Structure 1
Amino acid sequence: MEKIRISVGPLGDYRTIGEAAEAVPYMASAVIDIAEGIYKEKLSIEKKDITLRGAGMNKTVISYDDCAEQLLEDNTKRGTFRSQTLFIGGERVKVQDLTVENTAGWGNGVGQALAIYADADEVVMENVSIRSRQDTLFMAPLPLTERFKNGFFGPRMLTNRRNTRQFYKNCVICGDVDFIFGGADAVFDNCEIVVMDRKKDINGYVTAPSENLGELGMVFRECHIHGENKDMEGTVLLGRPWRPTGKVAFIDCTYDNSIHPLRFSEWYEMKTMESEAFFAEYNSRDEMGNEPDLSKRNKWVKLLSPEEASKIREAADSLVMSVRRQN
């Protein structure tokens, strides 16, 4: 099927991304080219096959500032899953060469503030900057049950949970608390993960996986994980399980000195004797290329064998080939 091509910008077919997306029939395949500029839009895009293509990371910027603690007209709070700048649903979505940000601010004042709520069956993002503070990137599905009444209030609160497959390549993802989270099978290749400085003893948790309906969980390969400045030594955990059986593996990744010696944490307690979660590393290196001291890690944090790492790589490659073939 030939793709519909639409341009957005001062000289484009449409002035806003929202208008352009609305013009695309659900069953069509479409590419929306977005000119350089800042687009202050809150977007919900749900299509069979759509590509959002900017003029370059940090050149095309989609920006909004909703947050979980925001009071609405009915005197209820917006909540986490209505705070996103960009919601993407449907079947296949590709986003490339642009920035998506939520500028609401620090979580201790505004609560969670999603930049992206990624819910399409297949998601591919390349050369995308994703910026917020707490809960920057949510990758569906939601957990099976909520911990607090109306905790999942939002576009997928009442829908059946199903696995999504997601691929992020050459992206820059910024946040502090639980800022890459959800239950997707997701692969991150050659991404830069930047933890923001909250000026606290624990500045952040990079990942917060929930129970996984697929088999892979989150896999980070050849990524660079670091604090936003050099004054954050030992204040960052690589993850904690949003639900007990979450899965995360970091393979061939590089870290600065911001990573806490425990490496990963349980949800409520940092140091514990056991965990149901699968948190794993292989071939970790510091920024000088040396192997970091992992002897103080939580004992349930797994150091993968070469064979185990190879098996995860193969599963990740299979996911990447599948979603890129479709996109």
Structure 2
Amino acid sequence: MSSAFGDFGPLTERRKAEKARQQKRRIMIAVGTVTIVAVLIVIGAAAIAYTSKSSSEGGHKSSKASPSKAKSSHSPTSSDSESSDSSPSSDSSSPSSSDDSKAPAAGGDLKAVSKSIKVMCSQTDYTDACEKSLGKAAAKNASAASPKDIVRTAVEVIGDAIGEAFGRADLILSNDPRVKAAVDDCKEIFGDAKDDLNRTVHGVDGGGFGKEDASYQLQIWLSAVIAHMETCIDGFPDDEFKAKVKDSFTSGKELTSNALALIEKGSSLLSVFKGSSSKRRLLGEEEQPALDKDGFPVWVPEAERRVLKGGGFKNTLTPNVVVAKDGSGKFKTIGEALSAMPKVRKERYVIQVKEGVYEEYVTVTRAMANVTLLGEGSKKSIVTGKKSFADGVTTFKTATFTAQGDGFMAIGMGFQNTAGPEKHQAVALLVQSDKSIFLNCRMDAFQDTLYAHSKAQFYRNCVISGTVDFIFGDAAAVFQNCILVLRRPLDNQQNIATAQGRADAREATGFVFQKCEFQAETALRDAAKPPIRNYLGRPWRECSRILIMESEIPDFIDKAGYMPWQGDFGLKTLWYAEYANTGPGANTAGRVTWPGYKKVISKTDAAKFSVENFLHAQPWIDPTGTPVKYDLFT
């Protein structure tokens, strides 16, 4: 009860006054404290902003000073981890950060692009070149930082590098006819390289990046760009000119390798970047390629679209024109028939070549897509020539027949170069045609018979004969049910069936021999003549790749199987393997012990090199009706 009246009286009033004074002091102290805290916050914010700026600048310098750190990581996990360390949610430079609205848009974009470039370049083999070239391009255009945009830029910068290199080759002045011929080759090859680069850029723009089949096509085109550079270099004699030209292409080859790596890692890179921005569209929506009226991605060139559609060829082998040496056809030469071919057409163009030996040099140009030569048999309808390296012609120009236009097909045709073994390099058939098919054909020469130069190629039921490196080049080629005939070379030479020319491990190229048979012509086994050693292959380039599987290897093949090119060149970086071969020469016990030779691989690994998996070929082989085994025979 006393407490109920305790607030009344003089003592109570004094207590009230004392409490009021204490409350006033507390309020004043609180206000002062709040003011001090506010000042400290402002100062702290300024300090953080300054420190952030300094750290950002220092980070870029550190990245340039220690590129090996970025280069050491090749896994998506490492890239993802690196990205999360500077994620948009915690860094003021992120496009999704609210602080960015106060900063110039270009600066924010450049920071975002720089981060993306760093993550993506960590997947390449030439990290310094990657970051430098893409960073320079980003400084000019920092409007986008998506993986697709960066890959597009990675392809575009190749053009500048190889343009400069080809330009240097063009400026070489010499009275040596071989040097002059090499310069002329480089001029022509530069056009091919530019075309394949443009295709790649168009493919990336059309949604090809990150999807298996489309990415494979991009890799095929870029692999061809490397082959073009190497071909330009090859034309020069082994002198100072060749060394200078080779050096000038270093940057172009590194940048192409980087672009190949980014495309190869497309799916994993997209997954890394999938959650990196709160403003992104769904991944499937962003990367869905636009389709044309026929259901093909818009980036697929018209020539290839006709290849995939088949052009009505499967059920109609009716020739458009007939070539007959005896005058019974519309034309007497294949060259005339090609020259008269309509430039605009929707269907495959079939040229029937009647029996006869056609002494002419033929080129199916890049503009001549979907051409079929329909012969009357590989020993009846024959194109022949005799150009050779010994006569002052570059190997690239010795070919009797050159197929460049995509979708080229030859059925029952023979291709010859009769220069002879003493003339050295003398090509019968040179193939640069993508998605090309050779069925029931024959290629006969000695050294360098078949130049499978670049892009995707399929050979079925063909006979290929020669001596030294008689199947060579940098194509992605499968030889199925073919016969390889080793002929007698010069007495001081050895026979080498293959010399695959993959120069970079990122290339999607290599030679696969499936269900093939190695044979020896009678003269090779002549006991009255000096014995000749015979090998399956040797590495023309550092990353040469060959698989011989389910094939018959006879006893005249040397037990070592393969021979080196020169010294230890490529022995660690090549990839040679065998699978399920038969015959007395198939025993791998005595094979070479090079680090790059894998001996007998598993069925799972061999299946990766089937026609379907290695060439992605069903869409372009099926419409032609060509017999094919898409998987393994065993």
TM-score by length of 2: 0.44
Q: Does 1:35 align with 2:331?
A: no
Spell out the pairing of 1:92-111 with structure 2 (5 A cutoff).
92-106=407-421, 109-111=422-424
| Residues 273 and 180 (structure 1), Cα distance of their counterparts in 2 relative to 1, 3 Å cut | closer
| Residues 23 and 94 (structure 1), Cα distance of their counterparts in 2 relative to 1, 3 Å cut | same
| Deviation by residue 1:263-290 (Cα, 9 ceiling, x = unmatched) | 1122114x8994311111111111xxx6
The Cα of 1:211 is off from its aligned counterpart by 1.5
Q: Does 1:89 align with 2:408?
A: no
| Residues 14 and 169 (structure 1), Cα distance of their counterparts in 2 relative to 1, 3 Å cut | same
Q: Does 1:243 align with 2:541?
A: yes
Q: In the comparison of the two structures, how many residue pairs are matched?
A: 293
Cα contact 1:39–1:62 (8 A) shared by 2: yes
Spell out the pairing of 1:180-191 with structure 2 (5 A cutoff).
180-191=471-482
Unaligned runs of 5+ in 1: 71-76, 142-163
Counterparts of 1:114 and 1:316, CA distance in 2: 29
Cα contact 1:239–1:264 (8 A) shared by 2: yes
The Cα of 1:318 is off from its aligned counterpart by 4.8
Q: Does 1:309 align with 2:590?
A: no
Structure 2 counterpart of 1:261, one-letter code: K
Counterparts of 1:285 and 1:273, CA distance in 2: 27
Aligned to 1:136: 449
Counterparts of 2:312 and 2:608, CA distance in 1: 37
Aligned to 1:58: 379
Q: Secondary structure at the match of 2:608?
A: helix
Query: Which shows bigger deviation, 28-37 or 291-300?
Result: 291-300
Query: Which shows bigger deviation, 275-284 or 314-323?
Result: 314-323
Cα contact 1:130–1:172 (8 A) shared by 2: yes
2:463 to 172, 192, 201: 172
| Deviation by residue 1:78-135 (Cα, 9 ceiling, x = unmatched) | 12111110011122100110111000111xx212000011011221000000000000
Cα contact 1:53–1:97 (8 A) shared by 2: yes
Cα contact 1:136–1:175 (8 A) shared by 2: yes
Aligned to 2:277: none
| Deviation by residue 1:241-265 (Cα, 9 ceiling, x = unmatched) | 1101011100101022221111112
Counterparts of 1:112 and 1:234, CA distance in 2: 19
Q: Does 1:298 align with 2:592?
A: yes
Identity %: 28
Counterparts of 2:425 and 2:513, CA distance in 1: 23
| Residues 50 and 197 (structure 1), Cα distance of their counterparts in 2 relative to 1, 3 Å cut | same
Structure 1 counterpart of 2:441, one-letter code: V
Q: CA RMSD in A?
A: 2.3
1:119 to 414, 418, 432: 432
Counterparts of 1:179 and 1:100, CA distance in 2: 13
Q: Secondary structure at the match of 2:321?
A: strand
Cα contact 2:554–2:586 (8 A) shared by 1: no
The Cα of 1:216 is off from its aligned counterpart by 4.6
**Structure (1 or 2) with the greater helix fraction:** 2
The Cα of 1:228 is off from its aligned counterpart by 1.4
Cα contact 1:201–1:235 (8 A) shared by 2: no
Structure 2 counterpart of 1:43, one-letter code: V
Structure 2 counterpart of 1:285, one-letter code: T
Aligned to 1:149: none
Aligned to 1:207: 498
Structure 1 counterpart of 2:617, one-letter code: V
| Residues 265 and 326 (structure 1), Cα distance of their counterparts in 2 relative to 1, 3 Å cut | farther
Counterparts of 1:42 and 1:127, CA distance in 2: 21
Cα contact 1:224–1:254 (8 A) shared by 2: yes
Give 1 or 2 for the bigger CA radius of gyration.
Answer: 2
Q: Secondary structure at the match of 1:296?
A: coil
Counterparts of 1:80 and 1:216, CA distance in 2: 21
Structure 2 counterpart of 1:167, one-letter code: F
Aligned to 2:566: 268
The Cα of 1:61 is off from its aligned counterpart by 0.9
Counterparts of 1:92 and 1:318, CA distance in 2: 14
Aligned to 2:554: 256
**Structure (1 or 2) with the greater strand fraction:** 1
Q: Does 1:222 align with 2:519?
A: no
Cα contact 1:89–1:119 (8 A) shared by 2: yes
Greater relative contact order: 1 or 2 (C-alpha under 8 angstroms, separation 6 or more)? 1
Aligned to 1:5: 320
Counterparts of 2:496 and 2:387, CA distance in 1: 22
Counterparts of 2:451 and 2:338, CA distance in 1: 21
Cα contact 1:196–1:203 (8 A) shared by 2: no
1:16 to 330, 333, 341: 333
